[in-house]
Amino acid sequence: MRRALLLLAALFFAGACLAQAIQPLPFRDHAEEVRFQKLSAQLRCPMCQNETLADSNAPIAHDLRMKIFELMQAGKSDDEIKAYLVERYSKFVLYQPPVEPGTWLLWFGPGVLLIAGATVVWIQVRRRSRMAADTALPPADSEDDW
């Protein structure tokens, strides 16, 4: 019984350790808080690679959120904050990279592959329907009608 209670307490406290709360920041007003949330949702965590800064619990994400907050308090615009982070972490930090020659494959590659696949399927269907039409025999005209 004692072991069961000890195990239950350990599981309870392990769950409490995993649920880390994000430290509240002293925003001036609600508009500034919304701006911070939008900006942190547009930036990628350099460590997690597929999470926004807003969603990540990584230590670097926490540091970057604090840096964003500091830059906002210093009066920097969203574009200046993004430029600051891109300068240090490359364009990878942007969750939606800009459309430019270096990112054309990223933006247009899936559409090109979809069109190419649809073209291949269309060609194969037409080729098979032609082959079926060429090999089809005319119905035998027998005079036996059942």
Residue 95 in contact with residue 48, Cβ under 8 Å?
no
> Which pTM value belongs to this model?
0.59
What does the pLDDT look like over 47-106, one tens digit per residue? Answer: 887 888 888 889 999 999 999 999 999 999 999 999 999 999 888 888 887 888 887 887
Q: Is 118 helix (H, G, I), strand (E, B) or coil?
A: helix
Q: What is the pLDDT of residue 22?
A: 55
Q: Give pLDDT, residue 134.
A: 75
Looking at residue 18, what is its pLDDT? 47
CATH topology of domain 21-98: Helicase, Ruva Protein; domain 3 (1.10.8)
Can you tell me the distance from the alpha carbon of 65 to that of 131, in angstroms, rounded to the nearest whole number?
63
Print burial letters for 73-86: b (CB count within 10 Å at least 16), e (below 16). Answer: eeeeeeeebbeebb
Mean pLDDT of the 121-132 span:
91
pLDDT (0 to 100) of residue 28: 81
Average of pLDDT values for 107-124? 95
How do the domains of the chain map onto residue ranges?
Answer: 21-98, 99-133
**CA dist., res. 40 & res. 53, Å (int):** 5
3-state secondary structure of 18: helix
22-60 pLDDT tens trace: 567 787 888 889 999 999 999 998 888 788 888 888 999
